[in-house]
Amino acid sequence: MNDLLIEIGCEELPAGSAVGMAKHLAESLHAKLQDAGLASGPAQYFGTPRRIAAYLPGVIAQQEDQQVERKGPAVAAAFKDGEPTKALLGFLKGAGATVDDITEVETPKGAWVMVRQTKSGESLQAVVNTVLPDILKTLPVPKRMRWSDQPHEFLRPVVWLTAMHGKQVLPVSVLGLQASNTTLGHRFHAPDPIPLASASDYLSALEKAYVLADIDVRRARIVEQVQAIAKEFGGSPVMDEALVDEVNSLVEWPVALGGRFEDVYLEIPKEALIQTMQENQRYFALLDATGQLMPAFITVANIESKSPETVIDGNERVIRPRFADTKFFWDQDKLSKLADHQPALNDVLFQKKLGSVADKTQRMAQLIPLLAPVLGADPVESATAVSLCKCDLTTEIVKELAKMQGICGRYYATRDGHSKNIADAMEEHYFPKQAGGRLPSNPVAELVAMADKTDTLVGIYGQGLVPSGTKDPFALRRATLGVVRTLIEHERNLDMADLIDASIATYKGSLGDIDRAGILGYVAERLRGYAQDQGISADVVDAVLVKGVTHPLDAMARMHAISSFRREPAAASLSAAVKRIGNLLKKQGIDGELNVSESLLQEDDEKALFASLEKVTPGVQTQLETRQYAEAMGSMSSLKEPVDAFFDHVMVMVDDEQVKNNRLGLLQRVHSLCSDVADISQLQIKG
């Protein structure tokens, strides 16, 4: 057993592609070799902008020989008059055997011809040569290319191929290259070929050649260096994880360097400067102890320069004109107020059938009378916030830096003297921006966010543009979940059915008949996912949502109550009883409400159940009206004993029609009361 190394070296790969490609190479190769009985231990993968590599420990050089049994035709069909038939001769030819190799085996269907052979195991070289081309064809790359006059395809031109099994070169070929024990180091620091004595020398040999091939080690080096330089500046770096990963995919030998820029640019919103540094230059911004942006940055070079001050100066020269452009846009925007941009929203298309962004804000404003009292938002502030919330879309900075939408609105609203509630709503009505992200922080921001997201949901879904698979261009999933989360986590007492109806009304029939039930079903699915993410079991979620509950806060209260109830001793018995009663009523075709007469009660156990119902029902109804669902389920649990006794000793389907219907009515009352919070027959309770 020896370690196996496969490295494919190429011209610089696009940022972010090496990790996925290297992982796919290693995992796929490991799976193929494991299936072939050649590999056992876990695979490792390495990658830089110029290489992807798979490293598999404990790989054997040759498969073991295998005993193979091949079943031929039935003996009766194999010979005729003592001579081999065509069927037998064809089987022997395909098996590479002769008549002398035949044995006969008895089966339940009679005697059959069998040939037992020894199949020689394949070599590691043969297996890798077979599977490697197919693995490379399935690499996760967006677009392949050809180079020179070669017929081969890869993401970038391939330069070298390294393949070693222990200390030996594994003589495989792929992409027009023959494998060797030679790799290449850093393009500038160590450009000459590097021979490897063994596969296990791979990482150490490359590190001596200024290449950190281990992705995690290189990433940790970047973070360590950036934090060290930030400390020298007296600040802390904005360590955006995506930025760290991107920088990691751009360098083989990271060297962090710090630069500065002029204080005059600090009057620009810091988010705009940070976005410019991160997205345009892959720089790390620095914040001081108060969270304010410092006039400095950190860049990560892919070279250990003899003159680092020259590299720093070059980066400072690059960032200044970008900041100067942003400052120009900021100065231009200062010439007008945020409200001055409202007319321009008529020219900004929201969606073809839904009109302009101005049309959208007008529909949003019509939801204020419903939302403001529920959220405790000031109607006047809310109206102002709705009218301004999209105005920054036509500002110069947002035209240049699209991710600044909302953020610029907050700065401009503050500059124009609007209240903090209104200013925060400019940015926060886009919240949450990702799964589990922040929600709006004040009632006005909540209102604008909910009005915006609900209008999008109704308008887009109303056209039948339902998200499918990974396609969700209008982010309906995130928008709907944002509304659901806000209502639940901020404890807002609002039924989504009322909000959907109000939003549908704002379209005034322009979309035709909108699938209201479909929209509410879509909301229910988002609520289902949210509840299960909170640890509520699927059967509890189903038990509540099957009742058609469209009030998210109320639904969660019911789910928590049922989650507690299902752990009670009475839960299994009462759940089974409700299911049994439901099946019985359905079998009898009973839809309407049956009357129950105390005078028709005959058996002691049915009288006891009636008395228990009379005692429990008033209190349960009061608890349900005040949404004390846990207490209501506790009260219902007291029905376990009388319900069990009823089923043990009372015959329901008697000949006397009046008595039978009276007993069915009694069970119907039990079913109705116990199913009020949720359909507990849906619960999957062991025992």
The answer to the question of residue 152 being in a domain is: yes
Beta strand ranges found along 416-527 (DSSP E): none
Q: What is the pTM of this model?
A: 0.79
**Cis peptide, bond prior to residue 343, ω within 30 of zero:** no
3 state SS of 139: coil
> Quick one: pLDDT at residue 41?
82
3-state secondary structure of 12: coil
The whole-angstrom separation of Cα 272 and Cα 289 is 20
DSSP labels, 198-258: SGGGHHHHHHHTT----HHHHHHHHHHHHHHHHHHHTSEE---HHHHHHHHTT-SS-EEEE
My answer on whether 104 and 143 are in the same domain is: no
The answer to whether residue 266 is domain-embedded is: yes
Instruction: Please name the helix (run of DSSP H) or strand (run of DSSP E) that holds residue 127, with its range, or none.
Output: helix 124-137
pLDDT at 115 over 90: no
The whole-number pLDDT of residue 129 equals 94
**Residue 549 located in a structural domain:** no
What sections of 366-401 are H helices per DSSP? 368-375, 379-388, 396-400
Residue 110 sits in the same domain as residue 36: no
The angle subtended at Cα 398 by Cα 238 and Cα 332, nearest 5°, is 110
**Cα–Cα distance for residue pair 286/648, rounded to 1 Å:** 75
**In sequence order, what are the beta bridge partners of 119?**
66
How many residues in total does the chain contain? Answer: 687
At 247-265, the pLDDT tens digits run 999 999 999 999 999 999 9
Q: Measuring CA to CA, which residue among 493, 497, 554 is closest to residue 521?
A: 497
Instruction: Tell me whether residue 618 is in a domain.
Output: yes
pLDDT for 497 equals: 96
pLDDT per position as a tens digit, 290-302: 999 999 999 999 9
What is the token pair recorded at 612? 């228990």
Residue 552 lies in a domain: no
**Does position 426 have pLDDT exceeding 80, yes or no?**
yes
Q: Are residues 578 and 445 in the same domain?
A: no
Q: Mean pLDDT over residues 542-559, rounded?
A: 95
Percent of the chain with pLDDT over 90: 76
- Evaluate if residue 167 carries a pLDDT over 70: yes
**Ordered DSSP codes for 199-216:** GGGHHHHHHHTT----HH
Q: Do residues 292 and 354 touch, judged by C-beta distance below 8 A?
A: no
Neighbouring residues of 217: CB distance < 8 A, sequence distance ≥ 6: none
Q: Which long-range contacts (CB under 8 A, 24 or more apart) does 531-535 make?
A: 531/555, 531/556, 531/559
pLDDT at site 121: 76
- pLDDT for 442 equals 96
User: In this model, does residue 127 exceed pLDDT 60?
Assistant: yes
Q: Which amino acid does the sequence have at 376?
A: G
Q: Are residues 443 and 345 in the same domain?
A: yes
Average pLDDT, the chain: 93
| Three-state secondary-structure class, residue 132 | helix
The predicted-structure confidence for 325-344, as pLDDT tens digits, reads as follows 999 999 999 999 999 999 99
Domain span at 564: 559-682
User: What's the mean pLDDT in 463-480?
Assistant: 84
In the DSSP assignment, the letter for residue 62 is B
Query: Are residues 112 and 153 located together in one domain of the fold?
Result: no
Residues 47-64 have pLDDT tens digits of 999 999 999 999 998 877
Long-range contacts of 357-360 (CB under 8 A, 24+ apart): 357/390, 357/393, 360/390, 360/452, 360/455, 360/459
Pairing between β-strand 255-260 and β-strand 236-237 as defined by DSSP bridges: unpaired
Please report the pLDDT score of residue 687 as a whole number: 57
- Residue 254, preceding peptide bond in cis (omega within 30° of 0): no
Which of 290, 307, 333 is where one domain is finished?
Answer: 333
439 and 364, same structural domain? Answer: yes
The verdict on residue 282 lying in a domain is: yes
- For residue 355, the cross-strand partners are 351
